[in-house]
């Protein structure tokens, strides 16, 4: 039952040391206020459990430098690290590029299928096969054009040929098609994350329009779902709904709105994801097998146009609560658990791109709780930038892709 008491932004007192991923970090200062001073869009909503929102601010006081790697990209969306210091970068209009260790950008990789680059669509995420060193396979997600203006999220794979003059992909196969296709240019998802067992998680969206939103709870639809497939596109036999009548066997979890951030927790191997809410309701979830994450039946925040979402309820039996949520939103896109060694104070912290707040969100995680938050990069000049993707590099640096018609990729390294 929803409690109508106002949600108060309370100060917290955390004494001694907080142990995060085996690393002792400085205690959160007493009586700290939340990091975001803006009022909630729905102040009457109350979190289901203490600490589910409004974590206190904790400044890590880590000194870092911003090193530009490449500029002038058109709406980059995903990054993947190649051997030898190279990087694959997607640009939403449909270009896959190779950034060399020398900072030179390749011509577009040829051989990719066409994309529908309207709205939020286009060429989206990119990932290397776990066996890339032997098979050279790469995977990419994209909005797949269909007849009469319809489209859907899709995933393809191909063998990457790293030719400096003419990089290309060969033996291309589209291994996944979201169904049904809809006439919408919004909410495609879509992050690609390989599990420890070699299966591939694909995060998706509900396509934003009412027709798609209401299918997030329909099990014969792939809208509003995280799906799990084998690397060749076949269905893992241990997926939760294999063999159930009227249920798509690809489904791993359901009731999602628009998941543009996902990563494996390095300590547990579980898939953590962050999805977009409306005006309020951005949320972190651990995407577990067969679970229902509630959209659009339960949600925090309010509709974009104002007013309650669905039945204006935030809790219901059988539906998972977010591990953490924001109201007001950050507009999450891209995330990484920091696993490098360049920044010992950040070890085990979760970093999320603030596409809406134009900053980098750092979360201190204790088990399955967010205990502190910090906003970084707000002082970048000439102005804070929209962040699209965040990755931990093999060199231990944090890599950031911005999102604009003339964007850049940079990395954070310790200040000398």
Each residue's pLDDT tens digit, 164-173: 999 999 999 9
Task: Give the pair of three-digit tokens for residue 24.
Answer: 């002792």
Catalytic residue status for 256: no
Which spans in 158-294 are helix H? 210-213
Which residue is listed with tokens 């067992």? Answer: 197
Give the model's pLDDT for residue 19: 31
Task: Give the pair of three-digit tokens for residue 36.
Answer: 């975001």
Strand 282-286 with 200-203, pairing: unpaired
302 by Cβ neighbours in 10 Å (0-12 / 13-18 / 19+) ranks as: buried
Give the model's pLDDT for residue 29: 41
Each residue's pLDDT tens digit, 28-39: 444 467 899 999
Give the model's pLDDT for residue 385: 87
**For residue 163, pLDDT beyond 70:** yes
- What residue ranges define each of the domains in the chain, with the CATH number in brackets? 18-414 (2.120.10.30)
Give the model's pLDDT for residue 105: 97
134 by Cβ neighbours in 10 Å (0-12 / 13-18 / 19+) ranks as: exposed
User: Among the listed ranges 207-216, 304-313, 375-384, which one has the minimum average pLDDT value?
Assistant: 375-384
Q: Which of 231, 191, 237 is nearest to 334 (CA)?
A: 191
293 by Cβ neighbours in 10 Å (0-12 / 13-18 / 19+) ranks as: buried
- Alpha carbon separation from 308 to 180, 280, 303 (Å, rounded): 27, 11, 6
Each residue's pLDDT tens digit, 234-279: 999 999 999 999 999 999 999 999 999 999 999 999 999 999 999 9
* Whether the Cβ atoms of residue 276 and residue 314 lie closer than 8 Å to each other: no
Which residue is listed with tokens 């319809």? Answer: 150
Q: Percentage of the chain with pLDDT > 90? A: 89
Each residue's pLDDT tens digit, 124-154: 999 999 999 999 999 999 999 999 999 999 9
pLDDT band at 178 (very low <50, low <70, confident <90, very high): very high
Q: Percentage of the chain with pLDDT > 70? A: 92
Give the model's pLDDT for residue 18: 34
User: Quick one: the chain helix, strand, coil %, rounded to 5?
Assistant: 5, 40, 55
Give the model's pLDDT for residue 384: 79
Report which of residues 406 and 22 the model is more confident about: 406
- Rounded to the nearest 5°, which phi and psi values hold at 322? -65, 145
Each residue's pLDDT tens digit, 368-384: 999 999 999 998 877 77
Catalytic residue among 177, 187, 256, 355: 187
* Whether the Cβ atoms of residue 352 and residue 283 lie closer than 8 Å to each other: no
**Mean of pLDDT over the chain:** 92
Question: Could you give the CA distance from residue 377 to residue 44 in angstroms, rounded to a whole number?
Answer: 31
* Whether the Cβ atoms of residue 146 and residue 158 lie closer than 8 Å to each other: no
């Amino acid at each position: 039952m929803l409690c109508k008491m106002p949600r108060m932004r309370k100060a917290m007192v955390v004494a001694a040391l907080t142990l995060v991923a085996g690393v002792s970090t400085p205690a959160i200062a007493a009586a700290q206020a939340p990091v975001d001073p803006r009022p909630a869009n729905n102040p009457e909503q109350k979190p289901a459990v203490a600490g589910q929102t409004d974590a206190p601010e904790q400044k890590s006081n880590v000194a870092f430098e911003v090193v530009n790697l490449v500029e002038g990209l058109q709406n980059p969306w995903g990054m993947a690290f190649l051997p030898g210091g190279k990087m694959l970068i997607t640009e939403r209009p449909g270009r896959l590029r190779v950034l060399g260790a020398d900072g030179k950008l390749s011509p577009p990789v040829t051989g990719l299928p066409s994309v529908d680059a309207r709205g939020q669509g286009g060429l989206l995420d990119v990932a290397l096969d776990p066996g890339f060193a032997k098979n050279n396979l790469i995977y990419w997600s994209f909005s797949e054009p269909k007849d009469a203006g319809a489209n859907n999220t899709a995933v393809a794979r191909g063998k990457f040929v790293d030719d400096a003059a003419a990089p290309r992909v060969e033996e291309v196969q589209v291994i996944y098609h979201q169904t049904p296709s809809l006439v919408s240019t919004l909410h495609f998802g879509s992050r690609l994350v390989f599990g420890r067992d070699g299966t591939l998680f694909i995060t998706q969206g509900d396509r934003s329009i009412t027709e798609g939103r209401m299918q997030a709870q329909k099990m014969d639809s792939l809208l509003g779902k995280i799906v799990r497939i084998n690397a060749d596109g076949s269905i893992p036999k241990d997926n939760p709904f294999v063999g159930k009548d009227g249920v798509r066997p690809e489904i791993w979890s359901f009731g999602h709105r628009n998941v543009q951030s996902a990563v494996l927790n390095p300590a547990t191997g579980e898939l953590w994801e962050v999805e977009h809410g409306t005006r309020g309701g951005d949320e972190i979830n651990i995407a577990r097998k067969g679970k229902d994450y509630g959209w659009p039946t339960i949600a925090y925040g309010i509709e974009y146009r104002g007013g309650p979402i669905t039945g204006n309820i935030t809790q219901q039996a059988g539906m998972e609560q977010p591990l953490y949520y924001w109201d007001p939103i950050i507009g999450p896109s891209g995330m990484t658990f920091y696993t490098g060694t360049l920044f010992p104070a950040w070890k085990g912290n979760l970093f999320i791109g603030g596409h809406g707040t134009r900053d980098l969100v750092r979360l201190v995680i204790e088990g399955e709780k967010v205990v502190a938050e910090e906003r970084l990069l707000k002082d970048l000049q000439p102005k804070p930038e929209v962040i699209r993707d965040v990755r931990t590099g093999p060199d231990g640096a944090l890599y950031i892709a911005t999102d604009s018609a003339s964007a850049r990729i940079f990395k954070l390294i310790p200040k000398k």
